[in-house]
Amino acid sequence: MSKFLGERRLLVKKISMSKESDLKVVGFCNWVIKYGLYLLAFLTPLFFLPFNTNILELNKQLLLVVFALILLIAWIGKMIAEGSMEMKKSWLNIGLALFSLSYLVSSILSKNLYQSLVGSGGVISESFFSLCALLIVFFVAVNNIKSRQEIFNAIFVLVCSGLLVGLFGALQLAGKFLLPWDFAKNVSFNTIGSVNSLEIFLASLLVLTMVLFVENDVVRWRQFFYGIAAAFFLIM
């Protein structure tokens, strides 16, 4: 009898340790997902590398793919640790699935299969591979962001990045070149793309910051910050 009770206590202890370990894994995966999304939102507008001919688009796509894989692995690890593989149900999921399927068929039937699936030259962001990376980031965000505050935090990080992008673009247009590379010593160079692309990006942030400036759920100091940011984007 005592042997049976001892084995039972040992089993309960092992189960308890297993659950505790799973909770730690879930917590770590949640941390990777949350701060991975924040970091992606901050880096994407700013990121480029001077080591290849396609300075902006290719490098931003590589950044997106790397983060998409990290986020996907963290999400899968979280679901395994929790013992459930669930996704939020939405009609949007069906629409995205149908769109992805049609995009895949179109890519397969394309005359340039490699360019359509993976991308090459100046056509990278329109590839099926890039679409998959965007969908992964979207589904990870939708299924793991649990509160409005986390959404507000992600937007705050994006606006901070946008301010740096706008400031750098303004200095470039003024002929104040901060970077040593030859391609950067051009008034039209910025970390978004063309000057028109930069203006569209900043205009979208202008609308976003104006909305958040009057949003009651935003803390007071961030409202003040968004007001200043909106004024900057308007001037730009």
Q: Is residue 88 part of a domain?
A: yes
Query: Measured on CA atoms in the order 68, 70, 73, 78, is the torsion positive or negative?
Result: negative
Q: Looking at 87, 116, 145, which one is the last position of a domain?
A: 145
Q: What would the pLDDT profile of 71-112 be if each residue is shown by its tens digit? A: 999 999 998 888 877 777 778 878 888 888 888 887 787 777
Cα distances (angstroms) measured from residue 49 to each of 29, 55, 62, 118: 29, 6, 11, 20
115 found inside a domain:
yes
pLDDT in tens, 186-212: 888 999 988 899 999 999 999 999 999
pLDDT digits (tens, 9 = 90+) for 32-74: 999 999 999 999 999 998 887 788 888 898 899 999 999 999 9
Find residue 123's DSSP bridge partners: 120
Residues 207, 192 share a domain: yes
Bigger pLDDT: 138 or 109? 138
State whether 156 and 187 are in the same domain.
yes
The number of distinct structural domains making up the chain is 2
| Residue 226 falls inside a structural domain | yes
